[in-house]
Structure 1
């Protein structure tokens, strides 16, 4: 049965480079100013750390697939309007920074999948040398991410996509590189965040939150700030691992609680 569709506001798709993709936040139209009959959808992409100076991804399109029409097996893919295409260095998107990809309206109703379409101009930078990454045609056609949610008019939804660099960049036998994207998508309203600041901040540190079910990580930015978004509710062990060259010791924070829709600020953490 085809469902009745109203207008939905797809507010923004964002590309970011922290270690976890965040969740969807929901609020009603009285709070966010969305016009009656519309809904707002925000999508962000973030990045999990990897051992590279830079990781460039070539974003060419963002597409969505709604519910199938009557008599059809599946819905048709549609490109979003005004997508901010281009090359993005995932490792620049740290400390909670994100890059807007799209801001459009789509029909409200059942949203099945989002597809991130990459081009061929992807590369890693190691010791100052930029090395192209081969991108299989199947990856260029688009990485499908399941949403499978009924989007209501007048409600804002925010999705964060977590681009795992370490898993996505594959080293081949001839010292080449292949990009096979591994992305985790989550909705902000169903998760929480862990933020804080690491001192000294002259060097980049890896911050990781882990429990039996989830592992989410991010690097600190130039100011020592970090933000782990899209963290499922639960209790975590958080480790802060500085660059080995600093000689500083790793620090562990136990029993860090994350609640749905809340931000746990660990404040300033001092390395010794």
Structure 2
């Protein structure tokens, strides 16, 4: 009888351990990076103090070692900066939240202007990121802060920050890159799907441009020379975009 009791107790303990193991969720690592859409300013300085991710209905703060001011214009044409990392339980991610400090400024023609951000300072900027995290997975996610579309000028000449933000991961990152010449054309490049301009790039001094975070599909790439330069606008297309691949357009030379 005693032996039967010991055996029965052992079986119960094994079953309880098995149930506990099955209830435990695995974790995934999320690395968060900051990138930017272009803008015709000298600098767009954003005071980022805290970033949180909503996982399975709960907010988790990012391990963010360097809170402070970031000039968004330093992170264009495929350039980015690592903000931090979070370890999250497997499951669904729905949103992210960025809390800004008070030191947000805009530099225009060498003059620094304050950027008003009342709602951001109170509760944080919320934006969607939908992803299902698998146990033991590692994910890179980009916060794409569109500086050009995020600045609003008031009637009295002040500037307000109304952020336009999107997120994408390696799984949803369609990319186009290329060069446009000559530098004298001062071209701006647009990625257009159907009749909608999806993204805009201001090329680097050497003519390099890159679009990231595009959805899959067919695009027209428009090279628009600045007025007064004498160069003629040109288009390339259709340009096919597929996740996991970089579509390289080579060099486009505009002519007068």
Q: Identify whether the pair has TM-score above 0.5, normalized to the shorter chain.
A: yes
The 5 Å alignment of 1:1-272 reads 5-10=25-30, 12-17=31-36, 47=37, 49-68=38-57, 75=58, 77-138=59-120, 140-201=122-183, 205-212=187-194, 215-244=198-227, 246-272=229-255
Query: Is this contact kept in 2: 1:16–1:96, CA < 8 A?
Result: yes
| Structure with the bigger percentage of helix | 2
Structure 1 SS opposite 2:213: strand
CA distance in 1, matches of 2:152, 2:174: 30
RMSD: 2.2
Task: Say which SS state the counterpart of residue 246 (structure 1) adopts.
Answer: coil
Q: Which fold has the larger relative contact order, with Cα–Cα distance below 8 Å and residues 6 or more apart in sequence? A: 1
Partner of 1:40: none
Task: Indicate the SS of the match to 1:96.
Answer: coil
TM-score (norm 2): 0.82
Moved more, 80-89 or 164-173: 80-89
Q: Deviations over 1:241-261 (max 9, x none)?
A: 234353322221121111122
**Counterparts of 1:15 and 1:135 in 2: how far apart (Å)?**
19
- Aligned partners of 2:73, 2:186: CA distance in 1, in Å? 11
Gaps of 5+ in 1: 18-46, 69-74
Aligned partner of 1:20 in structure 2 is: none
CA distance in 1, matches of 2:121, 2:234: 38
- In structure 2, runs of 5+ residues without a counterpart are 1-22
Find the structure with the greater CA-based Rg: 2
Question: 2:96–2:128: 8 Å Cα contact kept in structure 1?
Answer: yes
Alpha-carbon distance, 1:202 to partner: 6.1
2-side partners of 1:177 and 1:57: how far apart? 13
Count residues with an aligned counterpart. 232
In 1, Cα distance between equivalents of 2:252 and 2:135: 42
The 1:242–1:87 alpha-carbon spacing in structure 2 relative to 1, beyond 3 Å, is farther
